[in-house]
Homo-oligomer: A and B are copies of this chain.
Amino acid sequence: MSGFKNLTGLPTKDKFYNYILNLQDTITSKLEAIDGKAKFRQDVWERPEGGGGRTRVVENGNVFEKGGVNISAVHGELPDSMQQYFGVKDANFFACGLSLVLHPKNPMVPTVHANWRYFEMYDQQGNIVDSWFGGGQDLTPYYLFDDDAIHFHHVCKTACDKHQPHFYELYKKKCDDYFWNTHREEARGLGGLFFDYCKATDEMSMEDWYSFVTEVGDSFLECYVPIVEKRKDLPYTDAQRTWQEIRRGRYVEFNLVHDKGTLFGLKTNGRIESILMSLPPHVQWVYDHHPEKGSDEEKLIDLLKKPKDWIKF
């Protein structure tokens, strides 16, 4: 899709950085076209310890109430807390990635999150001692349309199947596990793909991983755009909007309590406003809220309690 995939000779980090630079343009252009009103505001920032990012945020659009499509590439000494986490000492690192979250205004349109990233760790001599890819994309609806879930997962599966026959099943499962809001005993949404620590093996070289991760990145618009087009003009009530705002509260809870990406950003002195662009614009917390028996809202909760197979559906 981007053409950058076939760049040869460049180190993986540069190739992948070029890829996300380009993908950010592709995605933000398409989203602006769909929205018809909102334009992404761009903030370029520098990290004092090394690196920086290009944040693009949209607010108060026709379709997108709030969203961000951000890239960053940061490097330097690995912070103490991360050294402990990885069990290493005196390590330096490089990390780059694209992170996006879109919160549509209409509760019939699901929130979407995606992230594709690459990480390198160095010893004091600057040798790469470890490197891996990670990423994924997942959907968080407020009202469940089976067709949307099936579409999203089918596009994910098609991207995976081009690389390894077991990838979809494996990374769909990892996504269900990762986006589990333990304190609520429910999923954040209806899943998608999640992969991490994708390192070179006999089966997959780093070049193969690069090709897989960019395949998934390239599939994002195909995953999400048709759903937005189909649902963005559906009518909705104030009560449905309230439900959306309550469910957005669970999104906040997941991101602030459990999400490793958010934590990584906070621990590596990332730019706070870029990290927390993932938080929804208007949110409610209602004490002990339960949807009515047999309602659409209850149907969603039932689904979130028990992740589903959307391929054999």
Residues of A within 8 A of B (CB): 41, 43, 57, 59, 66, 68, 183-184, 249, 252-253, 256-257, 266, 272-273, 276-277, 279-288
Q: Are B273 and A288 in contact (CB under 8 A)?
A: yes
Given contacts A183-B266, A184-B272, A266-B183, contact A287 B68 (CB under 8 A): yes
Q: Are B257 and A252 in contact (CB under 8 A)?
A: no
Residues of chain B with a CB closer than 8 A to A253's CB = 256, 276
Q: Are B257 and A43 in contact (CB under 8 A)?
A: no
Residues of chain B with a CB closer than 8 A to A288's CB = 43, 57, 273
Residues of chain B with a CB closer than 8 A to A287's CB = 41, 57, 59, 66, 68, 273, 277
Considering only CB atoms, which chain B residue lies closest to A262 in the complex?
A: B257
Residues of chain B with a CB closer than 8 A to A286's CB = 59, 281
Q: Are A256 and B252 in contact (CB under 8 A)?
A: yes
A184 to B288, CA, bound (A): 30
A143 to B249, CA, bound (A): 25
A266's partner among B57, B257, B276 (CB-CB below 8 A) is: B257
Pick the most buried of A276, A277, A285: most chain B CB atoms within 10 A of its CB: A285
A252's partner among B57, B252, B272, B273 (CB-CB below 8 A) is: B252
Residues of chain B with a CB closer than 8 A to A282's CB = 282-284
A279's partner among B43, B57, B249, B281 (CB-CB below 8 A) is: B249
Residues of chain B with a CB closer than 8 A to A66's CB = 285, 287
Residues of chain B with a CB closer than 8 A to A43's CB = 288
Considering only CB atoms, which chain B residue lies closest to A254 in the complex?
A: B256
Minimum C-beta distance from A4 to chain B (A): 28
Minimum C-beta distance from A106 to chain B (A): 18
Q: Are A183 and B272 in contact (CB under 8 A)?
A: yes
A46 to B152, CA, bound (A): 41
A311 to B186, CA, bound (A): 48
Pick the most buried of A59, A257, A266: most chain B CB atoms within 10 A of its CB: A257
A249 to B276, CA, bound (A): 11
A286 to B273, CA, bound (A): 9
Pick the most buried of A66, A281, A288: most chain B CB atoms within 10 A of its CB: A288
A285 to B282, CA, bound (A): 7
Minimum C-beta distance from A178 to chain B (A): 18
A/B interface sample: 8 pairs, CB < 8 A: A43-B288, A66-B285, A68-B287, A184-B272, A256-B256, A282-B282, A282-B284, A283-B284
Residues of chain B with a CB closer than 8 A to A57's CB = 287-288
Residues of chain B with a CB closer than 8 A to A59's CB = 286-287
Minimum C-beta distance from A111 to chain B (A): 13
Minimum C-beta distance from A274 to chain B (A): 9
A66 to B57, CA, bound (A): 31
A281 to B285, CA, bound (A): 5
